[in-house]
Amino acid sequence: MSSTFKKTITEIFKTHDMPLSEKQAAQMASYYESLVAANARFNLTAITGEKEAALLHFFDSAFAAPILPHNAAVIDVGSGAGFPAVPLAIVREDLRVTALESAQKKCRFIEDAAQKAGVRITALCARAEEYANREGREAFDVCVSRAVTALPALAELCVPLVCVDGLFLAYKSDYAKELAAAKNALSLLGAGLKERIKLPLEETSHTVLVFQKTKETPRKYPRRYGQIKKTPL
């Protein structure tokens, strides 16, 4: 386990008033170690340096954790290497977290690395638009997503997974144009902007856009992914 990463991550969270327990810091260090090892075999992320990964993967992912409801069922759409799903599961053990990822290799990595780190999480290999039209429809209290696609398309993938009164969290950088472009999509899907949470980091301009679902999503959404990308709502 990387002792320097463990020290770095502990200091970062403490600086921003989110102190980690010894167990949580060790879990993050273990997951980071697995990430670096796996990244040497196949591409998971371009960010592997200790400080950069601590800030831009782990702290960035976990910062919105305090606003999530207690015991919430959370799904991370397009989880990739496990962000934000894994850090959220580490800092909030009460959450029931599912990492949804369509790439089998990435899904297997999340499952193996989380198990090694002692993190309770479900890794599910499926496409969001297909899962949302089956057992995943309106089955979650919260949907989170980071670095997947533009907000109009992302909303169509994510909002149908969330129950009425649930939350959809989109981690975004320059979001103003995307938010304006997604106004119609959000209205059709049954969600509205609740708040914006700016991450207190000079290294990133990430803001977590928090949407609340106010009504059921019409059954015709989400459409097939080709349609979603070709003709956004």
CA angle 54–57–61, rounded 5-degree value: 115
Does the pLDDT value for residue 162 go beyond 90? Answer: yes
pLDDT at 141 over 90: yes
Instruction: Work out the number of other CB atoms within 10 angstroms of the CB of residue 148.
Output: 18
Whether the per-residue pLDDT at 1 is higher than 60: the answer is no
The stretches of 78-232 forming alpha helices (DSSP H) are 85-91, 104-117, 128-131, 151-158, 176-181, 183-189, 225-230
Q: Per-residue pLDDT tens for 57-76?
A: 999 999 999 999 999 999 99
- Which residue is it, tokens 């090694």? 116
Q: What is the pLDDT of residue 77?
A: 97
Segment 97-112 shows an average pLDDT of: 96
> Average per-residue pLDDT in the chain?
94
pLDDT of residue 179: 95
